[in-house]
C-alpha cells in the first residue's frame, strides 16, 4: 500500500485497481469489537478502566497518578 501511494504521489503512477493487497481493517474491527472499542482513541489503564474518545491531558494525568 505504501509503495502504491508513493508511486502515485511521487511518480504520478495511479493505482492499478487490483485489490489483492493485505488489508488489516477487518482484523482490526474484529479486535475492537471483542474489546468493546467503538471509537478512537481509546486508552486502556492497568486497572482495566478506559477513556474512550478524546480526553483532557489533566484527566489522563490524574488517572495515571491514581494508579501509582
pTM of the predicted model as reported, rounded to 2 decimal places: 0.57
Rounded to 5 degrees, what are φ and ψ at 9?
-75, -40
As given in the structure block, the three cell numbers for residue 37 are 472499542
Q: Where are the domains of the chain?
A: 23-68
Nearest to 51 by CA among 63, 64, 42, 62: 42
Spatial distance between the Cα atoms of 33 and 29, rounded to a whole number of angstroms: 6
pLDDT 10s digits, 2-48: 888 888 899 888 877 776 667 788 899 999 999 999 989 999 999 99
Amino acid at each position: 500500500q505504501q509503495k502504491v501511494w508513493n508511486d502515485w504521489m511521487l511518480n504520478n503512477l495511479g493505482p492499478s485497481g487490483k485489490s489483492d493487497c493485505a488489508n488489516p481493517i477487518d482484523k482490526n474491527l474484529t479486535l475492537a469489537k471483542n474489546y468493546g472499542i467503538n471509537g478512537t482513541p481509546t486508552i486502556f489503564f492497568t486497572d482495566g478502566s478506559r477513556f474512550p474518545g478524546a480526553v483532557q491531558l489533566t484527566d489522563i494525568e490524574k488517572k495515571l497518578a491514581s494508579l501509582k
